[in-house]
């Protein structure tokens, strides 16, 4: 189930980046696939110049200065603004952070070794501990969505100030750095995948469609998920969503989406009646729940819920947590 978890994490990071790069002063539709394609195409255009040295080509683009230039080149200048803001707000050593991450990732793939999305995340997160600004005591946070909102508010405030003086705040500094860490994890994984430096079957490879059919077949064999036999699948349980089914008639609240996912589980597997609380208590369920909530965060309270395109069927969603349900079920 780790591969599914990595896939969800990558999608969540993509949503956060997409939410940040959209213009906060205008209403425009955000499409996660668009920003992913921009970064992927930027890396791919470089690897085509020297197809025999893809890793070296990509690593040149991931050097501290080059990675900041990239965001402007692909139409995401707000990322550079966020970095400048982080430096000016609290003196965060962003360039030192980027250099340390670059060196850490480079050592992972030295000697033509391949790494994974998990190892990449671990390197970035461990290095971040040495560079993050001090935390401030405040009420419990709701995670990265709140951090993005704080940053976008600051962007709006600064856009209204002709002198563009940065608003200094420990809370904003902390939020800025958390989002920067997410962006760096995200872009390094896309870069490594584009260079073929991620292991066979890695979730990011699959998400980006960077594996050939033959590679995918090998991945299915070598990295087959752990199967459970306690709950039997219902007929046609693995049927893929059709377009109309990507819109579900549930209230767009945490409770409504939670009920939707439980109903999905019951529609896929026999024997889950009466296990609703167990289903909802599993980490996998909570990860999927947060993903769907994020996907619908701009239409709270609506009477419909949109299913993220990352999921191809109800069974794929439920299989993210069904093994954990088996472990807890009587």
In the three-class reduction of DSSP (H, G, I as helix; E, B as strand; rest coil), residue 156 is classed as helix
* Domain end call among 222, 257, 284: 222
* Residue 230 is assigned to a structural domain of this protein: no
The reply to whether 168 and 50 lie within a common domain is yes
Rounded Cα gap, residues 37 and 44, in angstroms? 10
The reply to whether 169 and 278 lie within a common domain is no
* Domain end call among 189, 222, 255: 222
Q: Report residue 115: phi and psi, to 5°.
A: -120, -170
* Residue 233 is assigned to a structural domain of this protein: no
Maximal CA-CA distance, the chain: 64
The reply to whether 188 and 141 lie within a common domain is yes
The reply to whether 36 and 103 lie within a common domain is yes
The reply to whether 40 and 167 lie within a common domain is yes
The reply to whether 19 and 61 lie within a common domain is yes
Residue with tokens 């951090």: 147
pLDDT at 4: 64
Rounded Cα gap, residues 53 and 46, in angstroms? 10
* Residue 228 is assigned to a structural domain of this protein: no
* Domain end call among 188, 222, 256: 222
Rounded Cα gap, residues 154 and 177, in angstroms? 14
For the chain, 330 residues long, the average pLDDT of each consecutive 10-residue run is: 68 78 51 78 83 86 88 82 75 89 92 89 93 63 54 49 42 76 91 87 77 43 57 87 86 94 94 94 88 82 86 88 89
Number of domains comprising the chain: 2
* Residue 294 is assigned to a structural domain of this protein: yes
Tell me the whole-structure pTM to 2 decimals: 0.66
pLDDT at 140: 42
Rounded Cα gap, residues 106 and 91, in angstroms? 26
The reply to whether 37 and 111 lie within a common domain is yes
pLDDT at 106: 92
pLDDT at 53: 84
The reply to whether 147 and 50 lie within a common domain is yes
Domain range for 156 is: 2-222
Q: Is the dihedral of CA 169, 172, 174, 177 positive or negative?
A: negative
């Amino acid at each position: 189930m780790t591969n599914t978890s990595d896939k969800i994490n990558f999608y969540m990071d993509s949503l956060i980046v997409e939410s940040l790069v959209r213009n906060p002063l205008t209403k425009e539709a955000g499409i996660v696939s668009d920003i992913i394609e921009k970064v992927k195409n930027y890396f791919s255009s470089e690897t085509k110049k020297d197809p025999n040295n893809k890793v070296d080509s990509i690593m040149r683009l991931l050097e501290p200065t080059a990675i900041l230039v990239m965001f402007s080149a692909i139409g995401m200048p707000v990322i550079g603004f966020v970095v400048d803001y982080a430096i000016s707000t609290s003196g965060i050593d962003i360039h030192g952070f980027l250099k340390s991450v670059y060196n850490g990732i480079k050592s992972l793939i030295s000697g033509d070794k391949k790494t994974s999305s998990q190892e990449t995340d671990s390197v970035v997160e461990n290095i971040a501990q040495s560079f993050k600004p001090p935390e401030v005591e405040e009420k419990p946070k709701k995670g990265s969505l709140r951090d993005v909102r704080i940053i976008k508010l600051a962007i709006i405030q600064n856009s209204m100030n002709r002198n563009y003086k940065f608003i200094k705040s420990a809370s904003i500094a902390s939020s800025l750095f958390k989002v920067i860490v997410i962006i760096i994890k995200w872009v390094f994984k896309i870069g490594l995948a584009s260079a073929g430096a991620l292991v066979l079957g890695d979730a990011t490879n699959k998400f980006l469609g960077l594996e050939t059919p033959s590679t995918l077949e090998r991945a299915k064999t070598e990295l087959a998920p752990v199967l459970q036999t306690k709950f039997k699948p219902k007929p046609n349980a693995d049927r893929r969503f059709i377009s109309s089914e990507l819109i579900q008639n549930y209230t767009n609240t945490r409770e409504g989406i939670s009920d939707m996912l439980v109903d999905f589980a019951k529609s896929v597997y026999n024997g889950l009646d009466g296990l609703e609380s167990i289903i909802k208590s599993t980490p996998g369920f909570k990860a999927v729940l947060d993903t769907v909530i994020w996907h619908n965060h701009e239409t709270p309270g609506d009477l419909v819920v949109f299913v993220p395109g990352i999921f191809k069927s109800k069974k794929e969603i439920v299989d993210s947590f069904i093994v954990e349900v088996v472990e807890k079920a009587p």
